[in-house]
């Protein structure tokens, strides 16, 4: 639907027109962009594909299909040709199982027509499209899908480049560097500059990114902000998956974006000409800021903290050089949740003596949420994050605040390898998975127990995905230390993931092994993976374990949890498995999230 001051001016059933399949309304490919004349809409949809005929109500061999109601009406056969009904079609993996072949589409509101654009190279899947300054072409991100698709969700290391498609000639021009990982193009208000993010193909699945800028007329590209190896107080690097849809200031020189900075997510103002960064939210009591939009120099954002649900705030961007005078005004303020306090703990690893690199002793952080009422010492729930290249920033998390209200302290660990602490920290985890991350988590627990009023006899683990991998390792190494463990979508058997995960490349990269599309594992590599897997030491586990998995998980097969469940049950370890038939890796959705939390909370209360 299109609305204007007079009400609804257009209502179009896009899929019913038969030009394409489902419209992409979310995810990495999705976009919805007005032309500058506001007469055409640019969006992405699934390529139209012949559909299998549904079974006839009376399943009789040789039965005929019902004829069209109007005998004069021409019947168009859109069924799949015989012999091709069961051809396999790749998709883009976890959370993108309905995304296979995206196409660029234009809805012309004046001409009342819908067209699917041609000219996109066949090896590319297009998305994140916007109009060129003159409306004569479109700019888009093209993800390479040859020789086959690797999972895209939470992976900024896939080959993708930015292109310009001329609508008249059909000529497709490469704008970004070849063989890079570029995304999130944003055109300045004056149409002269194109800002975008760029990373490296391969390596860690998330990484510190460059901020690049292309001058539209000359096609010259410069690096505005480079990869940060070691963070400074002023700037720790860019780790955002996307730039805000509207991030440019009215002067077409400055831009605002949000990114993790250690255990916070802050708003940064970037001067693209001077290549300087100003942190607009450093030192604020809220630990997570997200820019919703920036229009006519009016900033609209949300801010939250572990004890403070998101508030909607606005501010006017001051002139260049005066940005630190920014004054945020609440539009919708939310009260602080009583009974919850939080702090950031800095954890310093001991000198291992195994290597001269700074990453061997680089400090990392953990967030500690504690009940403000009740009598200490409090039982402690330890939560290493998944990824592993992710971060627990100091945002509002309802489940963690609820655990505090139930009387638990919660420790969110950002071990070395987390986002927000420099690229060197991210790279330090490669080949040390199952070792450095596990040791860091345990060190964070020891230092928290030493510094804070916590009950060292009542400890539990709560984690998902790679965080669950870390938790299982802790159970095998200190069988009597933890009294309970609740895991979501756990990784327990690394070699099993080679043939079942949408990101098989990560199994090699995480252990410091090279990856190529034609890669087949050698026996010694499989053995290395198994030795790093918690399942190999499952006989050491004594702690009661709750497992929560989604049957539709494409990243970590739920069969991993089933294998672990059987091993633990056979050894008479108290174990419970929750199997969500429609759940994916994140176990998302209101009903699923609520059920997972309720069961995890009951499990922790029961055993602590």
Q: Is the pLDDT of residue 577 over 50?
A: yes
Mean pLDDT, the chain, integer: 94
Is the CB of residue 381 less than 8 Å from the CB of residue 350?
no
Distances (CA, A) of 95 to 91, 582, 588, 593: 10, 12, 10, 16
Fold assignment, 340-493+533-607: Rossmann fold (3.40.50)
Length of the chain: 608
154 dihedral zone (left: phi>0; alpha: psi -120 to 50; beta): left
Q: How confident is the model at residue 85 (pLDDT cuts 50, 70, 90)?
A: confident
Q: Nearest 10 degrees: CA dihedral of 491, 98, 126, 166?
A: -170
Q: Is residue 184 among the annotated active site residues?
A: no
For the segment 380-433, what is each residue's pLDDT rounded down to a tens digit? 999 999 999 999 999 999 999 999 999 999 999 999 999 999 999 999 999 999
Residue 41: other Cβ atoms inside 10 A: 19
**Which residues in 244-339 belong to E strands, given as ranges?**
254-261, 264-271, 276-279, 288-295, 298-305, 308-316, 329-332
Residue 60 pLDDT > 70: no
Supply 101's token pair: 């072949």
pLDDT band at residue 52 under the 50/70/90 scheme: low
Token pair 């897997």: residue: 533
Range 574-590 average pLDDT: 98
Q: What is the pLDDT of residue 353?
A: 57
Distance between CA atoms of residues 161 and 182, nearest Å: 5
Closest CA to 198 of 224, 164, 165, 217: 224
Angle in degrees, 0-180, between the axes of helices 590-607 and 398-405, rounded to the nearest 10: 30
Active site residue 585: yes
Handedness of CA 497, 499, 502, 508 (dihedral sign): positive
Q: How many whole angstroms separate alpha carbon 232 and alpha carbon 211?
A: 18
Cα-based torsion angle of the residue sequence 218, 219, 225, 226 in order, rounded to the nearest 10 degrees:
-130
pLDDT value at residue 54: 56
- Which range, of 112-126, 294-308, 359-373, averages the lowest pLDDT? 359-373
pLDDT value of position 69: 41
3-state SS class at 25 = coil
Q: How far is it, in rounded angstroms, from Cα 72 to Cα 70? A: 5
Question: CA-to-CA distance for 186 and 243, rounded, in angstroms?
Answer: 8
Q: Which of 20, 389, 473, 585 is catalytic?
A: 585
CA 338 to chain centre: 30
User: Of 263, 465, 501, 510, which is the active-site residue?
Assistant: 465
Report the distance separating Cα 521 and Cα 527, nearest Å.
10
Task: Work out the average pLDDT over 310-337.
Answer: 94
What pLDDT does 351 receive?
79
> What pLDDT, on a 0 to 100 scale, did the predictor assign at position 355?
52
570 CB neighbour count, 10 Å cutoff: 11
| Dist. CA 450–CA 444, nearest whole Å | 10
**What percent of the chain clears pLDDT 90, i.e. is strictly above it?**
90
Q: What is the pLDDT of residue 82?
A: 84
Asked if residue 555 lies in contact with residue 583, where contact means CB atoms within 8 angstroms, the answer is no
- What are 27's two structure tokens? 């995810």
Residue with tokens 């009597």: 480
Per-residue pLDDT reduced to its tens digit, 450-469: 999 999 999 999 999 999 99
- Predicted structure pTM score: 0.94
Name the catalytic one among 492, 502, 553, 557: 553
Rounded to 5 degrees, φ, ψ at 278 are: -125, 125
Query: Given this model, what pLDDT does residue 307 score?
Result: 98
Q: Which long-range contacts (CB under 8 A, 24 or more apart) does 250-257 make?
A: 250/189, 250/296, 250/297, 251/320, 252/188, 252/189, 252/190, 252/192, 252/193, 253/320, 254/317, 254/320, 255/186, 255/195, 256/280, 256/291, 256/294, 256/299, 256/317, 257/291
**281 class by beta-carbon count within 10 Å (0-12 exposed, 13-18 middle, 19+ buried):** buried
Q: How far apart are CA 241 and CA 251, in angstroms?
A: 25
User: Whole-angstrom Cα distance, residue 332 to residue 312?
Assistant: 5
- Measured from the Cβ of residue 197, the count of other Cβ atoms closer than 10 Å reads 24
- Concerning whether 553 is annotated as a catalytic residue, the answer is yes
Kindly report the three-state secondary structure assignment for every residue of 469-532. Answer: HHHHHHHHHCCCCCCEEEEECCCCCCHHHHHCCCCHHHHHHCCCCCCCCCCCCCHHHHHHHHHC
Count the Cβ atoms, other than its own, within 10 Å of residue 420: 25
- Confidence class of residue 189 from pLDDT cuts 50, 70 and 90? very high
Query: Residues with Cβ < 8 Å from 123, sequence gap 6 or more?
Result: 144, 145, 146
The residue with greater pLDDT, 535 or 325, is 535
Whole-number Å distance between alpha carbons of 462 and 546: 9
The mean per-residue pLDDT over the stretch 543-566 comes to: 98
Residue 537 scores a pLDDT above 90? yes
pLDDT tens digits, one per residue of 7-45 = 999 999 998 899 999 999 999 999 999 999 999 999 999
Domain boundaries, the chain: 340-493+533-607
- What's the pLDDT at 53? 60
CA 78 vs. chain centroid, Å, equals 37
pLDDT in tens, 326-364: 999 999 989 999 999 999 999 999 876 555 455 678 999
Q: φ, ψ for residue 476 (rounded to 5)?
A: -75, -30
Cα 343–347–349 angle (5° rounding)?
175
DSSP single-letter state for residue 319: P
> What gap in Å lies between CA 263 and CA 411, rounded to an integer?
13
Diameter of the chain by CA atoms? 85
Whose structure tokens read 């059909």?
170
In sequence order, what are the beta bridge partners of 512? Answer: none
Q: How far apart are CA 164 and CA 129, in angstroms?
A: 10
Alpha-carbon gap, residue 203 to 255, rounded angstroms: 28
């Amino acid at each position: 639907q299109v609305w204007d001051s007079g009400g609804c001016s257009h209502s179009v059933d896009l899929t019913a027109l038969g030009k394409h399949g489902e419209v992409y309304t979310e995810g990495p490919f999705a976009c919805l962009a007005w032309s500058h004349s506001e007469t055409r809409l640019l969006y992405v949809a699934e390529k139209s594909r012949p559909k299998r005929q549904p079974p006839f109500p009376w399943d009789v061999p040789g039965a005929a299909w019902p004829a069209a109601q109007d005998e004069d009406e021409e019947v168009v056969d859109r069924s799949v040709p015989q012999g091709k009904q069961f051809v396999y079609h790749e998709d883009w993996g976890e959370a993108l199982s309905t995304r296979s072949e995206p196409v660029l589409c234009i809805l012309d509101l004046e001409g009342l027509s819908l067209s699917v654009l041609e000219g996109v190279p066949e090896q590319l899947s297009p998305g994140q499209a916007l109009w060129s300054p003159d409306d004569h072409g479109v700019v888009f991100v093209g993800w390479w899908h040859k020789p086959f698709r690797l999972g895209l969700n939470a992976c900024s290391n896939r080959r993708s480049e930015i292109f310009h498609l001329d609508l008249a000639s059909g000529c497709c021009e490469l704008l970004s560097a070849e063989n890079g990982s570029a995304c999130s193009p944003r055109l300045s208000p004056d149409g002269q500059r194109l800002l975008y993010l760029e990373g490296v193909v391969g390596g860690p699945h998330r990484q510190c990114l460059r901020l690049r800028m292309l001058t539209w007329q000359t096609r010259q590209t410069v690096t505005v902000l480079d990869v940060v190896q070691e963070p400074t107080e002023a700037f720790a690097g860019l780790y955002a998956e996307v730039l805000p849809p509207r991030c440019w200031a009215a002067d077409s020189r400055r831009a605002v974006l949000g990114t993790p900075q250690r255990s916070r997510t802050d708003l940064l103002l970037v001067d693209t000409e001077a290549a300087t960064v100003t942190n607009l939210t450093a030192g604020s009591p809220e630990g997570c800021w997200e820019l919703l939009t920036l229009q006519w120099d009016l900033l609209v954002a949300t801010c939250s903290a572990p004890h403070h649900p998101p508030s909607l705030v606005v501010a006017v961007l001051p002139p260049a050089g005066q940005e630190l005078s920014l004054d945020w005004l609440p539009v919708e303020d939310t009260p602080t949740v009583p009974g919850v306090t939080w702090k950031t703990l800095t954890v310093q690893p001991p000198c291992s003596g195994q290597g001269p690199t700074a990453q061997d002793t680089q400090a990392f952080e953990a967030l500690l949420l504690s009940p403000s009422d009740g009598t200490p010492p409090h039982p402690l729930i330890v939560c290493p994050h998944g990824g592993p290249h992710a971060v627990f920033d100091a945002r509002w998390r309802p489940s963690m605040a609820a655990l505090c209200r139930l009387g638990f302290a919660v420790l969110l660990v950002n071990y070395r390898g987390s986002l927000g602490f420099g690229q060197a920290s991210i790279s330090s985890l490669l080949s040390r998975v199952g070792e450095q991350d596990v040791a860091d988590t345990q060190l964070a627990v020891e230092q928290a127990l030493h510094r804070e009023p916590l009950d060292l006899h009542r400890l539990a683990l709560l984690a998902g995905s790679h965080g669950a991998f870390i938790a299982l390792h802790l159970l095998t190494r200190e069988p009597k230390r933890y009294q309970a463990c609740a895991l979501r979508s756990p990784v327990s058997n690394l070699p099993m993931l080679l043939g079942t995960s949408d990101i098989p490349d990560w199994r090699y990269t995480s252990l410091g092994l090279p990856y190529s599309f034609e890669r087949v594992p050698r026996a010694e590599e499989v053995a290395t993976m198994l030795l790093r897997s918690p399942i190999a030491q499952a006989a050491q586990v004594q702690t009661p374990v709750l497992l929560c998995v989604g049957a539709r998980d494409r990243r970590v097969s739920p069969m991993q949890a089933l294998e672990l469940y059987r091993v633990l049950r056979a050894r008479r370890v108290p174990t419970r498995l929750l199997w969500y038939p429609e759940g994916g890796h994140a176990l998302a959705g209101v009903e699923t999230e609520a059920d997972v939390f309720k069961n995890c909370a009951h499990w922790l209360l029961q055993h602590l």
